[in-house]
Amino acid sequence: MTMRRSERVNFKNPNGITLSGILDLPEHSPIAYGIFCHCFTCTKDLKAIVRISRRLAEHGLAILRFDFTGLGNSQGDFSETNFDTNCQDLQAAYNFLADHHQPPGLLVGHSLGGAAMIHMAHRLKSIRGLVTIASPSSTQHLADHLSQENPAIVEQGQGVVTIGGRSYLLKKQLIDNLRGHDLVSSLEQLRLPHLIFHPDADETLPYWHAEKMYELTGGPKSMITLDHSDHLLVKRPEDVGFVADMIHRWYERYQQSE
Protein backbone atom coordinates (compact mmCIF):
# COMPACT_ATOMS: atom_id res chain seq x y z
CA MET A 1 0.00 0.00 0.00
CA THR A 2 1.11 3.58 -0.66
CA MET A 3 0.96 6.52 1.72
CA ARG A 4 -1.96 8.92 1.37
CA ARG A 5 -2.91 12.56 1.86
CA SER A 6 -6.18 14.47 2.03
CA GLU A 7 -7.24 17.79 0.52
CA ARG A 8 -10.30 19.87 1.36
CA VAL A 9 -12.21 20.99 -1.74
CA ASN A 10 -15.30 23.04 -2.53
CA PHE A 11 -17.46 23.10 -5.62
CA LYS A 12 -20.88 24.40 -6.59
CA ASN A 13 -23.97 22.40 -7.51
CA PRO A 14 -26.35 23.49 -10.32
CA ASN A 15 -28.23 25.73 -7.87
CA GLY A 16 -25.08 27.69 -7.01
CA ILE A 17 -24.79 26.14 -3.55
CA THR A 18 -21.25 25.46 -2.36
CA LEU A 19 -20.64 21.84 -1.44
CA SER A 20 -17.80 20.72 0.80
CA GLY A 21 -15.68 17.68 0.09
CA ILE A 22 -12.46 15.91 0.96
CA LEU A 23 -10.30 14.30 -1.68
CA ASP A 24 -8.33 11.38 -0.28
CA LEU A 25 -5.28 10.90 -2.49
CA PRO A 26 -2.46 8.37 -2.75
CA GLU A 27 1.10 9.62 -2.45
CA HIS A 28 1.72 9.19 -6.17
CA SER A 29 -0.48 9.59 -9.25
CA PRO A 30 -3.84 7.85 -8.71
CA ILE A 31 -4.63 4.77 -10.74
CA ALA A 32 -8.20 6.09 -10.95
CA TYR A 33 -10.60 8.53 -9.30
CA GLY A 34 -13.84 7.69 -7.51
CA ILE A 35 -16.74 9.33 -5.66
CA PHE A 36 -18.20 8.25 -2.31
CA CYS A 37 -21.79 9.33 -1.46
CA HIS A 38 -23.04 9.15 2.12
CA CYS A 39 -26.39 8.01 3.51
CA PHE A 40 -29.51 10.05 4.33
CA THR A 41 -28.62 12.64 7.05
CA CYS A 42 -25.04 11.31 7.24
CA THR A 43 -21.96 13.27 6.17
CA LYS A 44 -18.64 12.67 4.46
CA ASP A 45 -17.12 12.40 7.95
CA LEU A 46 -19.00 9.25 8.97
CA LYS A 47 -16.31 7.03 10.45
CA ALA A 48 -16.87 4.13 8.05
CA ILE A 49 -16.78 6.42 5.00
CA VAL A 50 -13.58 8.10 6.17
CA ARG A 51 -11.83 4.80 6.82
CA ILE A 52 -12.94 3.17 3.56
CA SER A 53 -11.94 6.23 1.50
CA ARG A 54 -8.54 6.50 3.13
CA ARG A 55 -7.81 2.83 2.71
CA LEU A 56 -8.78 3.02 -0.97
CA ALA A 57 -6.32 5.91 -1.28
CA GLU A 58 -3.65 3.67 0.24
CA HIS A 59 -4.45 1.23 -2.57
CA GLY A 60 -3.78 3.99 -5.13
CA LEU A 61 -7.32 5.27 -5.75
CA ALA A 62 -8.27 8.93 -5.30
CA ILE A 63 -11.67 9.18 -3.61
CA LEU A 64 -13.82 12.31 -3.35
CA ARG A 65 -16.25 12.17 -0.42
CA PHE A 66 -18.55 15.14 -0.04
CA ASP A 67 -21.53 16.45 1.93
CA PHE A 68 -24.91 16.68 0.23
CA THR A 69 -26.67 20.05 0.31
CA GLY A 70 -27.54 21.22 3.83
CA LEU A 71 -25.46 18.57 5.60
CA GLY A 72 -22.02 18.61 7.16
CA ASN A 73 -19.97 21.51 5.87
CA SER A 74 -22.02 22.07 2.72
CA GLN A 75 -24.24 25.11 2.35
CA GLY A 76 -27.99 25.03 1.79
CA ASP A 77 -31.22 24.14 3.59
CA PHE A 78 -31.58 20.41 4.18
CA SER A 79 -35.38 20.70 4.44
CA GLU A 80 -35.48 21.83 0.81
CA THR A 81 -33.50 18.86 -0.47
CA ASN A 82 -34.69 15.55 -1.90
CA PHE A 83 -33.53 12.63 -4.01
CA ASP A 84 -33.29 14.83 -7.10
CA THR A 85 -31.02 17.35 -5.37
CA ASN A 86 -28.81 14.48 -4.18
CA CYS A 87 -28.45 13.39 -7.80
CA GLN A 88 -27.63 16.96 -8.83
CA ASP A 89 -24.97 17.12 -6.13
CA LEU A 90 -23.49 13.85 -7.39
CA GLN A 91 -23.35 15.29 -10.91
CA ALA A 92 -21.57 18.36 -9.52
CA ALA A 93 -18.99 16.13 -7.80
CA TYR A 94 -18.46 14.24 -11.04
CA ASN A 95 -18.00 17.50 -12.97
CA PHE A 96 -15.52 18.76 -10.37
CA LEU A 97 -13.28 15.73 -10.77
CA ALA A 98 -13.60 15.77 -14.56
CA ASP A 99 -12.73 19.49 -14.73
CA HIS A 100 -9.92 19.61 -12.16
CA HIS A 101 -8.44 16.10 -12.17
CA GLN A 102 -9.85 13.40 -14.46
CA PRO A 103 -13.27 11.82 -15.02
CA PRO A 104 -13.91 9.30 -12.24
CA GLY A 105 -14.23 5.61 -12.95
CA LEU A 106 -15.67 4.37 -9.65
CA LEU A 107 -18.83 5.14 -7.69
CA VAL A 108 -19.24 4.03 -4.07
CA GLY A 109 -22.49 4.79 -2.26
CA HIS A 110 -23.78 4.05 1.22
CA SER A 111 -27.54 3.61 1.77
CA LEU A 112 -29.49 6.39 -0.01
CA GLY A 113 -26.20 7.63 -1.47
CA GLY A 114 -25.97 4.30 -3.26
CA ALA A 115 -29.50 4.74 -4.60
CA ALA A 116 -28.52 8.11 -6.08
CA MET A 117 -25.57 6.45 -7.78
CA ILE A 118 -27.76 3.70 -9.23
CA HIS A 119 -30.08 6.34 -10.66
CA MET A 120 -27.24 8.45 -12.08
CA ALA A 121 -24.72 5.81 -13.19
CA HIS A 122 -25.79 5.68 -16.85
CA ARG A 123 -25.47 9.48 -17.11
CA LEU A 124 -21.85 9.51 -15.90
CA LYS A 125 -20.05 8.26 -18.98
CA SER A 126 -16.59 7.50 -17.55
CA ILE A 127 -17.82 5.19 -14.77
CA ARG A 128 -16.45 1.66 -14.93
CA GLY A 129 -17.85 0.20 -11.71
CA LEU A 130 -20.54 0.81 -9.09
CA VAL A 131 -20.37 -0.26 -5.43
CA THR A 132 -23.37 0.00 -3.09
CA ILE A 133 -23.17 -0.55 0.67
CA ALA A 134 -26.36 -1.22 2.66
CA SER A 135 -28.42 0.47 -0.04
CA PRO A 136 -32.17 0.22 -0.70
CA SER A 137 -33.78 -1.51 -3.66
CA SER A 138 -36.31 1.34 -3.90
CA THR A 139 -36.75 4.89 -2.63
CA GLN A 140 -40.28 4.02 -1.51
CA HIS A 141 -38.89 2.40 1.63
CA LEU A 142 -37.51 5.65 3.02
CA ALA A 143 -40.67 7.56 2.08
CA ASP A 144 -42.82 5.07 3.99
CA HIS A 145 -40.48 5.07 7.00
CA LEU A 146 -40.42 8.86 7.32
CA SER A 147 -44.19 9.11 6.89
CA GLN A 148 -44.67 6.63 9.72
CA GLU A 149 -42.11 8.35 11.95
CA ASN A 150 -44.04 11.63 11.78
CA PRO A 151 -47.37 11.67 9.88
CA ALA A 152 -47.35 15.49 10.10
CA ILE A 153 -44.82 15.58 7.27
CA VAL A 154 -47.55 14.50 4.86
CA GLU A 155 -50.65 15.68 6.71
CA GLN A 156 -49.39 19.18 7.55
CA GLY A 157 -46.71 19.65 4.91
CA GLN A 158 -43.73 19.37 7.24
CA GLY A 159 -42.55 17.78 10.47
CA VAL A 160 -39.52 16.96 12.56
CA VAL A 161 -37.91 13.54 12.81
CA THR A 162 -35.04 12.42 15.02
CA ILE A 163 -32.33 10.37 13.35
CA GLY A 164 -29.16 9.35 15.13
CA GLY A 165 -29.95 11.64 18.03
CA ARG A 166 -30.36 14.74 15.84
CA SER A 167 -33.59 16.44 14.79
CA TYR A 168 -34.33 17.31 11.16
CA LEU A 169 -37.15 19.33 9.65
CA LEU A 170 -38.53 17.45 6.65
CA LYS A 171 -41.13 18.60 4.14
CA LYS A 172 -43.76 16.77 2.14
CA GLN A 173 -41.88 17.53 -1.06
CA LEU A 174 -39.19 15.06 0.05
CA ILE A 175 -41.73 12.26 0.53
CA ASP A 176 -43.37 13.01 -2.82
CA ASN A 177 -40.01 13.09 -4.56
CA LEU A 178 -38.90 9.76 -3.08
CA ARG A 179 -42.17 8.15 -4.11
CA GLY A 180 -41.87 9.58 -7.60
CA HIS A 181 -38.67 7.70 -8.45
CA ASP A 182 -38.55 4.25 -10.00
CA LEU A 183 -35.29 2.79 -8.74
CA VAL A 184 -36.36 -0.66 -9.92
CA SER A 185 -36.26 0.56 -13.52
CA SER A 186 -32.82 2.12 -12.95
CA LEU A 187 -31.52 -1.18 -11.58
CA GLU A 188 -32.91 -3.12 -14.52
CA GLN A 189 -31.28 -0.72 -16.99
CA LEU A 190 -27.92 -0.76 -15.23
CA ARG A 191 -25.19 -2.39 -17.30
CA LEU A 192 -22.14 -1.43 -15.26
CA PRO A 193 -20.35 -3.99 -13.10
CA HIS A 194 -22.08 -3.75 -9.73
CA LEU A 195 -20.69 -4.90 -6.37
CA ILE A 196 -23.29 -5.10 -3.57
CA PHE A 197 -22.37 -5.17 0.14
CA HIS A 198 -25.09 -5.63 2.74
CA PRO A 199 -25.03 -6.45 6.47
CA ASP A 200 -27.23 -9.41 7.31
CA ALA A 201 -28.13 -7.75 10.63
CA ASP A 202 -28.98 -4.37 9.11
CA GLU A 203 -31.63 -2.83 11.37
CA THR A 204 -32.37 0.03 8.94
CA LEU A 205 -32.60 -1.77 5.60
CA PRO A 206 -33.42 -5.50 5.84
CA TYR A 207 -31.19 -7.92 3.96
CA TRP A 208 -33.89 -8.64 1.40
CA HIS A 209 -33.09 -5.27 -0.19
CA ALA A 210 -29.71 -6.68 -1.26
CA GLU A 211 -31.31 -9.85 -2.59
CA LYS A 212 -33.84 -7.81 -4.56
CA MET A 213 -31.12 -5.52 -5.88
CA TYR A 214 -29.03 -8.48 -7.01
CA GLU A 215 -32.05 -9.93 -8.77
CA LEU A 216 -32.81 -6.68 -10.59
CA THR A 217 -29.45 -5.15 -11.43
CA GLY A 218 -28.16 -5.66 -14.95
CA GLY A 219 -24.61 -6.31 -16.10
CA PRO A 220 -21.91 -8.21 -14.20
CA LYS A 221 -22.85 -8.38 -10.52
CA SER A 222 -21.46 -9.64 -7.26
CA MET A 223 -22.85 -9.61 -3.72
CA ILE A 224 -21.02 -9.89 -0.40
CA THR A 225 -22.82 -10.43 2.89
CA LEU A 226 -21.33 -8.65 5.90
CA ASP A 227 -22.08 -11.20 8.60
CA HIS A 228 -23.32 -9.81 11.94
CA SER A 229 -22.67 -6.23 10.82
CA ASP A 230 -25.02 -3.23 11.03
CA HIS A 231 -26.16 -0.38 8.78
CA LEU A 232 -23.34 2.03 9.72
CA LEU A 233 -20.67 -0.70 10.02
CA VAL A 234 -20.12 0.13 13.68
CA LYS A 235 -20.57 -3.23 15.41
CA ARG A 236 -17.71 -4.82 13.50
CA PRO A 237 -15.20 -2.02 12.78
CA GLU A 238 -12.92 -4.46 11.01
CA ASP A 239 -15.50 -4.71 8.23
CA VAL A 240 -14.52 -1.32 6.82
CA GLY A 241 -11.04 -2.54 5.97
CA PHE A 242 -12.47 -5.68 4.43
CA VAL A 243 -14.93 -3.64 2.34
CA ALA A 244 -12.21 -1.30 1.08
CA ASP A 245 -9.84 -4.15 0.21
CA MET A 246 -12.57 -6.01 -1.68
CA ILE A 247 -13.58 -2.86 -3.59
CA HIS A 248 -9.96 -2.39 -4.65
CA ARG A 249 -9.51 -5.99 -5.81
CA TRP A 250 -12.88 -6.02 -7.58
CA TYR A 251 -12.44 -2.67 -9.32
CA GLU A 252 -8.89 -3.52 -10.38
CA ARG A 253 -10.38 -6.20 -12.62
CA TYR A 254 -12.46 -3.65 -14.55
CA GLN A 255 -9.86 -0.87 -14.45
CA GLN A 256 -7.39 -3.14 -16.21
CA SER A 257 -9.95 -3.96 -18.91
CA GLU A 258 -9.95 -0.35 -20.20
Check pLDDT > 70 for residue 94.
Answer: yes
Predicted confidence (pLDDT) per residue in 155-171, tens digit: 999 999 999 889 999 99
Taking alpha carbons only, the member of 152, 133, 64, 44 closest to residue 104 is 64
Among 154, 180, 206, identify where a domain stops: 180
CATH of the domain at 58: 3.40.50.1820
CB 36 within 8 A of CB 1: no
Tally of structural domains, the chain: 2
144 and 17 in one domain?
no
54 and 38 in one domain?
yes
Confidence label for 258 from pLDDT (cuts 50, 70 and 90): very low
Q: What is the pLDDT of residue 256?
A: 59
Q: pTM for this structure?
A: 0.96
Taking alpha carbons only, the member of 227, 221, 253 closest to residue 242 is 227
